[in-house]
Amino acid sequence: MKNKELKILLSAPRGFCAGVERAIEIVEKSIQKYGAPVYVRHEIVHNKFVVDDLRKKGAIFVEELDEIKDKSRPVIFSAHGVPKTVPDDARNYNMTYVDATCPLVSKVHREAENLNKAGYHIILIGHKNHPEVIGTMGQLPEGSIDLIQSEEEAKNYYNKDDKKIAFVTQTTLSVDDTKEIIKILKSRFENIREPQKEDICYATTNRQMAVKNIAKNCDMFFIIGSRNSSNSVRLVEVAKKSGCENSMLIHSESEIPYNKIQQVNTIGISSGASAPEILVDNFINGLKNRFTIKIDEVEIIKENVVFKIPKKLN
């Protein structure tokens, strides 16, 4: 019996962004420079495959610095950024640290600090308890920044200090959802100050646009990425909203629904900014074993962004 034919629309750009590539390189270069083990505070990026691979090379992952028994070993801060208290603690412990915060997250940190110094009360649009949000809120004195997560919260927000207000955003949000929240804030606070340049990062935007571009032509859509990866979860939402209701996240423990794939003709595939391309290859190879596949890579924009690693590792 001839294998069923399956068309794959492969979304591009997908996968690693410049901030993730830089963060992984920082861990690898730190191990080369300082030897193993090096400690990493929080998962360097939200992907189990990447974390497990770095573990094998000599990285030990912790959530807080006080878990590190041997304070003479270096510690790396994850790409999501950290509150100001974390480098302060590292200095108090006399620890060597390397900051792998994505430069685009650092840009939001500096923006929030400058607005705070200029007398603005700040609204952060983002998701509670995400490490990036914790890091950004931790740049400022308590009480000077409020989190808004939804259109509902934007409608009910009130400016309790009667100070001038400004907003910044988490870098990995859904472009469309954020647009709606911003629209509400602007209609309620005419003089609200917005970032000079969009805070949602280029990679998040590009990956969402690429998925949006092909979702309506797909019967099913698969996003390769981790459950705790904000940008991967947003891609699933974008695929659903853009015309492919049957969209799902494929993570390290996912059962691949081959029976359902058997019943469709065209599937879309993309991956989150912290998912390595090998996971996409593995997924496609699993399909090749069962179907006759035709791959059409649909690229909407070329990415050529590269971020330098800290001088101390060169």
Structure-derived torsion over alpha carbons of residues 272, 251, 28, 86, reported in degrees to the nearest 10: 80
User: C-alpha angle with apex 86: 84 to 88, nearest 5 degrees?
Assistant: 75
State yes or no: is 132 an active-site residue: yes
* Cα 102 from chain centre: 10
Residue 310 per-residue DSSP state? P
Amino acid at 191: N
Say how many C-beta atoms besides its own lie within 10 A of residue 267's C-beta: 23
Of 128, 141, 199, nearest to 167 by C-alpha is 199
Burial environment of residue 296 by CB neighbours within 10 A (0 to 12, 13 to 18, 19 or more) = exposed
Of 204, 181, 183, 188, nearest to 274 by C-alpha is 204
Report how far residue 89's alpha carbon sits from residue 259's, in angstroms, rounded to the nearest whole number. 52
What angle separates helix 202-215 from helix 175-188, to the nearest 10 degrees?
110
Helix or strand holding residue 52 (H, E) = helix 48-57
Of 267, 214, 293, 177, nearest to 12 by C-alpha is 214
Structure-derived torsion over alpha carbons of residues 57, 60, 63, 64, reported in degrees to the nearest 10: -130
Report how far residue 98's alpha carbon sits from residue 86's, in angstroms, rounded to the nearest whole number. 12
Strand partners, 168: 124
Catalytic residue selected from 132, 198, 245, 299: 132
Residues annotated as part of the active site: 132
